[in-house]
Amino acid sequence: MHSTIMAAPSQLPSHDDRPVDAENGDGSATPSQGAGVCGSGGGVGGIPVVDLAVLVDGSADHRSQAIRELGQACEDWGFFMVTNHGVPEALQEAVMDACKQLFSLPMEEKEEHIHAGPMDPVRIGSGFYSVMDAVAFKRDYLKMFTHPDFHCPAKPAILRDIAMEYSSCTRALLLHLAKAISQSLDLAGGRLSEALNLESCFQILVGNHYPGCSRPDDEAIGFLAHSDHGLLTLLFQNGVDGLQVKHDGRWVLAKPLPGSFFVIAGDQMEIVTNGRYRSALHRVVLGGEQARMSIVSLIGPCLDSVVEPLPEMAAPDGKGLEFRGMRYKEYLEKQQSKKLDEKTALDIVRVQHQQLSRG
């Protein structure tokens, strides 16, 4: 069997805003063969799955098939699972555990990072940090910048080495995916990396902790619908579901295959591909009694890179470029000072074609 992208089966579409479960009746998700994409007529397909082993070691045929399917996953979903990724399970557990220890530290041990601003390299907080943010939602987080310079809170002491290793391991994985994604656009493998200076990519590690609800609500939002600001986000969770991705106008519950990571396309992917690979809208909905944790490893362009659509991605129909160029650092600062609201951050750089004719 050599289908590199498989679809996780899903249940029938729902008729309201509730998510569609991408799982079997027993709560597990298993791979099955078949197209990962459904028509627009209301059928819901599974979240695409990419087998990294094929991208790395596959025969030429299998590799090019895998790259085509990866491109399809980026185009249709901006969200997929990656299996056989080579990140040791023990390292994943260690990083999850160290983050858990951090969240249970007494307040005074975290104090200095709690008052940090969005561009400070280590930040601990609750909700989405924004001066304009009026909504308090249930989420504690640790954010640390890990590349090109590595930053880490001093406590818990075990965090440093583990986070450093996890960061470099997942960076290698994400850079590999970026290369294959570049090829899926019929570009040289190094094209995206060159354009965004990914050798000096900006990387963030985030630990998210969503406390369990003692009186489970129907729909407690843990993280409002948003897209990520970077290029690619890698995520795994502690076995408690809640992440949902919007696909074809519906929220789909993201149910991981055992041992897989979720990969989420971010805003810089949408900009650099001129809208061909759009960033995925996702959110976290909670309701259970169990606490949920997730570990995010995100890469973006080099902070000094001016990100703009690749000229090769300009639409041949003359529609031209959807986004203007902006330094990633500036985008990040602007995005962080805005209220978190779906994908409106992209309006910062969106070219308003109609305005030209209004004069």
By the criterion CB under 6 A, which residues form the site for ligand OGA? 206, 208, 223, 228, 235, 237, 243, 282, 284, 294, 296
- Closer to ligand OGA by CB, 195 or 296: give it: 296
Among Ni ion, ligand OGA, none, what does residue 4 contact (CB within 5–8 Å per kind)? none
Q: What's the CA gap between 62 and 65, in Å, rounded?
A: 5
- Closer to ligand OGA by CB, 69 or 228: give it: 228
- Closer to ligand OGA by CB, 279 or 294: give it: 294
Among ligand OGA, Ni ion, none, what does residue 208 contact (CB within 5–8 Å per kind)? ligand OGA
Among ligand OGA, Ni ion, none, what does residue 167 contact (CB within 5–8 Å per kind)? none
Written in H, E and C, the secondary structure of 63-118 is: HHHHHHHHHHHHHHCCEEEEECCCCCHHHHHHHHHHHHHHHCCCHHHHHHHHCCCC
Among ligand OGA, Ni ion, none, what does residue 206 contact (CB within 5–8 Å per kind)? ligand OGA
Q: Report in angstroms how near the CB of residue 229 gets to ligand OGA at its nearest.
A: 9
Determine if 76 is a binding residue for Ni ion (CB under 5 A).
Answer: no
Q: Report in angstroms how near the CB of residue 106 gets to ligand OGA at its nearest.
A: 24
- Closer to Ni ion by CB, 3 or 297: give it: 297
- For Ni ion, the binding residues in 209-248 under the rule CB under 5 A are 228
- Closer to Ni ion by CB, 69 or 241: give it: 241
Q: What's the CA gap between 204 and 207, in Å, rounded?
A: 10
> Which residue has its beta carbon closest to Ni ion?
228
Q: What's the CA gap between 78 and 282, in Å, rounded?
A: 10
Element (H, E) at 181: helix 159-184
Q: Report in angstroms how near the CB of residue 241 gets to Ni ion at its nearest.
A: 15
Q: What's the CA gap between 64 and 183, in Å, rounded?
A: 9
The 10 Å Cβ neighbour count of residue 40 is 7
For residue 325, the SS3 value is coil
Among Ni ion, ligand OGA, none, what does residue 294 contact (CB within 5–8 Å per kind)? ligand OGA
Q: What's the CA gap between 162 and 93, in Å, rounded?
A: 10
- Closer to ligand OGA by CB, 9 or 127: give it: 127
- Closer to ligand OGA by CB, 191 or 255: give it: 255
Q: Report in angstroms how near the CB of residue 91 gets to ligand OGA at its nearest.
A: 19
C-alpha distances (whole Å) from 352 to each of 81, 208, 271, 320, 323 are 34, 35, 14, 11, 9
Residue burial 265-291, b: 16+ Cβ < 10 Å; e: rest? bbbbbbbbbbbbbbbbbbbbbbeeeeb
Residues that bind Ni ion (CB under 5 A): 228
